[in-house]
Amino acid sequence: MNAQSLRGAYLLVAGKGLSAVIGLASMLILARLLDPEDYGLVVLVEAVVTLLAAVTELQMASVLIHLPKVNDAHFSTAWTLNLIRAFALCLLVILIAPWLVEFYDEPRLLSIAYISSLSLFLGALLNPKLAILIRDLDFKKDFILNVSQKIAGFVVTVAAAYYLRSYWALVLGTLATQICGFVVSYWCYPFKPSFTLSKVRDLWGYSVWLSLANFVKTLNIKQDQFLVGKMFSTETTGFYSMGTRLSSVLFTDTLGAALRVISPSLRAYTADKVELGKAYLHAQSLVTLVFLPLASVTSALAYPLIEFTLGNKWIEVTEVFRFLVLAVCLEAIGGVGLSVVVATLNTRLAFLRDLVSIVIRALCMGAGLYLGGFIGLLAGRALSSVIDLLLYFTIAGKVTGLHIRKQLFLSWRTWLACALVYPFLYWIKTWPVMEIGDSKLHQAAGLFGLILLGLLMQFVIQGLLWRVSGKPQSIEVVFMAYLKGKFKLQGQKSF
């Protein structure tokens, strides 16, 4: 990536990192104020509402980013289409709310669905001109938008949870987030849209495949929540929801920020398949090098992490988090391959990949549930993520001409180092010497020490594997040169 892309990546990741900290703080506070059943109730509606949103999602932002030429008529057309969609979506949620109550046999879902429909309406009306900021890799205002939404949601959710002590805190927090996003998006980039459909033809050709792909992808993501909600208790659904949220906050959200930079930055290479392949491999290996070890270490230390952060009331989240944090990390890493596909506007290919993926995930989770109950379902979910990664490699290969074997073994040292460190961390956390006290300070120190130990072991083992491999000019060299340059620059500034 070029310097502008890297600056954009830094700002986006910083914003997502700050949002992750706010989100994590929110979850830690809410875990003390709310019960698992509260999360379970909200997630039952959230899964359905999100799926309906995906059915009607027009993916205008992605199209506006990648179209060669756009003007105000394109943005107004995108706004008009989203406005029509918002009305239809809000009405649809209201109409199906009674069915939702009957399906889950839970009357409290009716009022939750009504408020959630309003949140969807507001979320569909964000300023379409924000796409210009992403296209031009200007992420300052995007940073402001994301952080302000997170802060608004945090304040409202925590305040409501403190006073109400019910699931309404989560519902009202989501509504506050959408209201803030709607207001700030037009404040960041003033735009007065007009009601027009003059550029539908320009937008629709690419949008239809992106929309279908988004629907199938969302159904793929949410089908496990439907299954857990129907087959298990509301409390178990709450545990599953918390594990999913934690995994998303720690990895998917932050890594997703980097992917938003990668796709626009690859546009410069779309005319040259060889250069496009090189840029893709560089991005893929860098993302894997940074995020996979973090996911592996936190998965291995799932029990002490959950016990320390959420408390014993949520200890059943442990196994959910252990499986899902690896699963969502693999899927996010695979998203680099999707970025190549989107950058080259091969949207039909993305749709076909997601179509295959949803079938595979359903089969894996169904088989896991049948063979091993809830734990089996989690294992099936994790297995489907491995297959998902291979599917991403396949479509990236179609666009770049790279063989799937080259992509698979590109980061083999990172994969092997993670595989060697994981069982050691899982084992060492049970040592008596690790139980250094009952106070929160002692627990935090012990947990922090284990995380540092895991990352240090990863660094040392991968370094040894790099030496054994003949010291190739690989991503390890690029990454270390970058770190040395940053430390040297910081040292010069201090004098």
Q: Are 118 and 153 in contact (CB under 8 A)?
A: no
Cα dihedral 230, 354, 331, 278 in deg (nearest 10): 180
Q: What integer pLDDT is reported at residue 458 of this predicted model? A: 92
Show the beta-strand stretches assigned E in 221-374: none
Q: What integer pLDDT is reported at residue 2 of this predicted model? A: 47
Q: What integer pLDDT is reported at residue 494 of this predicted model? A: 44
Nearest Cα neighbor of 124 from 32, 56, 184 is 56
- pTM for this structure? 0.72
Q: What size, in residues, is the chain? A: 495
Q: Are 157 and 176 in contact (CB under 8 A)?
A: yes
How far is it, in rounded angstroms, from Cα 252 to Cα 274?
Answer: 29
Nearest Cα neighbor of 316 from 394, 374, 268 is 374
Residue type at position 459: F
* Exposure on the CB side of residue 155, measured as CA atoms within 13 A: 8
Other C-beta atoms closer than 10 Å to the C-beta of 66 total 21
Q: What single string gives the DSSP state of each residue in 408-431?
A: HTTTHHHHHHHHHHHHHHHHHTTS
How far is it, in rounded angstroms, from Cα 126 to Cα 186?
Answer: 8
Q: Are 281 and 404 in contact (CB under 8 A)?
A: no
How far is it, in rounded angstroms, from Cα 177 to Cα 128?
Answer: 18
Show the beta-strand stretches assigned E in 307-374: none
- How does pLDDT run along the chain (495 residues), one tens digit per residue? 444 555 555 566 666 667 777 877 888 888 888 888 888 888 888 877 777 776 656 566 666 666 667 777 878 888 888 888 888 888 888 998 998 888 888 899 999 999 888 887 887 778 887 777 666 656 677 778 888 888 999 999 999 999 999 999 999 999 999 899 888 888 887 888 888 877 767 666 555 666 666 677 777 777 888 788 888 888 888 899 888 888 887 776 666 656 666 666 676 677 778 888 888 888 888 889 888 999 999 999 998 888 888 888 888 999 999 999 999 888 888 888 887 887 777 777 877 888 888 899 999 999 999 999 999 999 999 999 999 999 999 988 888 888 888 888 888 999 999 999 999 988 876 654 445 456 677 778 888 888 899 999 999 999 999 999 888 888 888 777 766 665 554 555 443
Task: Report angle CA 448, 452, 457 to the nearest 5 degrees.
Answer: 150
